[in-house]
Amino acid sequence: MADRKATLTVEGLDKPIELPIYSGTRGPDVIDVRGLGSEGLFTYDPGFMATSSCQSAITYIDGGKGMLLHRGYPIDQLAQNSDFVELCYLLMFGELPSKAEYTDFADRVTSHTMVHEQLANFFKGFRRDAHPMSIMCGVVGGLAAFYHDHLDITKQEDREISAIRLIAKMPTLAAMSHKYNVGQPFNYPRNDLNYAENFLYMMFSNPCEEYKINPVFAKAMDRIFMLHADHEQNASTSTVRLAGSTGANPFACISAGIAALWGPAHGGANEAVLNMLDEIGDESEENIQRFIDRAKDKDDPFKLMGFGHRVYRNFDPRAKVMKETCDEVLEQLGRADDPQLRIAKRLEQIALEDEYFIERKLYPNVDFYSGIILKAMGIPKNMFTVIFAVSRTIGWISHWHEMLSESYKIGRPRQLYVGHDKRDYPTD
């Protein structure tokens, strides 16, 4: 409902244009500019700096306060009291499950963890040294070739089945992409384990020796899944919505999301942070300062990876929980004095006191510490963004489901055309 109106006066138009303003539960009001098209005008907002692409009730971020709410619940409270499977239910269905609903949902997810046996053949088409994210783009899209039932996207029941299949199969495919990389046999999922335990088992177990799941690692893994689960209209979620708005197959939409996530400005940042820490190497003060100076230098493309965010102009609340988890895992491993953790903490400290970072409100984001935890758990760098994709699948599919549950239009932005004007093809 429009509470107020904005009036736009445009030179050359005889009367002002009235545009409705809507208020959400929280956050800035929005001006509905859809009527501008009929006046022969478009808005111009490259990078979506001030554009709401949709209405959503799933996640809210207050970047100034460093607040992240899923269905109203703060992320730190969820990380403390809930688990990834419960968070999936909450994001998808809007409310926390009862005990019975939780059990039923967890069972439904568990019963879909296996992938079609023939899918294993897809992997053989990739080089062994293929980046697991490239494999994931292919094999997740490839699910569309295997699951032909329950694909009526206009039916809630069918959308739920696709969602459950994706949540359940992503860890299996992720672990397979790692096993293929290292030349070990694939592990079938174990349905007696919980979501995080099963993922660790499929990643690390091999036929020659028993793999004992470390409960601290399983807890940390579950937390990492939770902290990456959803983040409103980020680049990959917007990609999934855009792909979904054409009526595309859900598995193909998620594959599009994986591709968008891969970039270092988005989910690829966790791998990039570790590469940066490797490159810094020496923890001497002058060396660390040299990298800070490079990040500030306009002529150097280097950025402090794991720092900054389009929405957060304050601490990323996920980064706080991630830093605590990092301390817990390294403490448990007797590596509280890990040199890369020391470099990361020193980088953070210097940046937080530096005018350049203060002025631009650049703080550590979720990816700054996640790589250090994952590395400590024995997970190779090239799997970090894959793990982000496993977690974010619930966010992507919840937004896809939300969009399709309401009336929506195909996503089709317009442009400011600056190319040649009409000209004739030279005929002589």
Shortest CB 307 distance to ligand CMC, Å? 4
Is residue 201 a contact residue for ligand CMC (CB under 6 A)?
A: no
Q: Which is nearer to ligand CMC, 50 or 265 (CB)?
A: 265
CB atoms within 10 A of CB 342: 13
Shortest CB 152 distance to ligand CMC, Å? 32
Convert 71-103 to b/e letters by CB count within 10 Å (16 or more is b).
Answer: beeebbebbeebbbbbbbbbbbeeebbeeeeee
Q: Please identify which residue in 306, 317, 371, 395 interacts with ligand CMC, judged by CB under 6 A.
A: 306
- Which of the ranges 157-165, 188-196, 358-366, 400-408 carries the binding residues for ligand CMC, by CB under 6 A? 358-366
Q: Quick check: helix, strand or coil at residue 267?
A: coil
CB 32 within 8 Å of CB 19: yes
Is 278 catalytic? The answer is no
Is residue 365 a contact residue for ligand CMC (CB under 6 A)?
A: yes
Q: Site size for ligand CMC, by CB under 6 A?
A: 20
What does the alpha-carbon distance between residue 140 and residue 225 come to, in Å, rounded to a whole number? 18
**CB burial of residue 365 (10 Å; 0-12, 13-18, 19+):** buried
Q: Please identify which residue in 309, 345, 399, 401 interacts with ligand CMC, judged by CB under 6 A.
A: 309
Shortest CB 82 distance to ligand CMC, Å? 20
What does the alpha-carbon distance between residue 336 and residue 376 come to, in Å, rounded to a whole number? 11
Is residue 313 a contact residue for ligand CMC (CB under 6 A)?
A: no
Q: Please identify which residue in 37, 215, 360, 378 interacts with ligand CMC, judged by CB under 6 A.
A: 360
Shortest CB 295 distance to ligand CMC, Å? 4
Residue 314 backbone phi and psi in degrees, to 5? -160, -175
Is 309 catalytic? The answer is yes
Is residue 259 a contact residue for ligand CMC (CB under 6 A)?
A: no
Is residue 389 a contact residue for ligand CMC (CB under 6 A)?
A: no
DSSP string, 171-205: HHHHHHHHHHHHT-PPPPP-TTS-HHHHHHHHHH-
Report which of 271, 199, 268, 275 is spatially closest to residue 234, judged by C-alpha positions: 268
C-alpha of 368 from chain center: 14
- Which of the ranges 50-58, 80-88, 247-255, 361-369 carries the binding residues for ligand CMC, by CB under 6 A? 361-369
- Which of the ranges 73-81, 128-136, 259-267, 339-347 carries the binding residues for ligand CMC, by CB under 6 A? 259-267
Is residue 220 a contact residue for ligand CMC (CB under 6 A)?
A: no
Type of residue numbered 79: A
Active site residue: 70, 131, 231, 309, which one? 309
Q: Which is nearer to ligand CMC, 202 or 259 (CB)?
A: 259
Report which of 286, 233, 281 is spatially closest to residue 396, judged by C-alpha positions: 233
In sequence order, the 6+-apart residues with CB closer than 8 A to the CB of 378 are: 204
Shortest CB 304 distance to ligand CMC, Å? 4
Shortest CB 254 distance to ligand CMC, Å? 16
Instruction: Please give the DSSP secondary-structure letter assigned to residue 11.
Output: T
What does the alpha-carbon distance between residue 211 and residue 234 come to, in Å, rounded to a whole number? 37
Is residue 304 a contact residue for ligand CMC (CB under 6 A)?
A: yes
Is residue 267 a contact residue for ligand CMC (CB under 6 A)?
A: yes
What does the alpha-carbon distance between residue 156 and residue 219 come to, in Å, rounded to a whole number? 32
Q: Please identify which residue in 123, 199, 201, 307 interacts with ligand CMC, judged by CB under 6 A.
A: 307
Is residue 269 a contact residue for ligand CMC (CB under 6 A)?
A: yes
Interface residues toward ligand CMC, by CB under 6 A: 231, 234, 265-267, 269, 295, 303-310, 360, 362, 365-367
- Residues serving a catalytic function are 309, 367
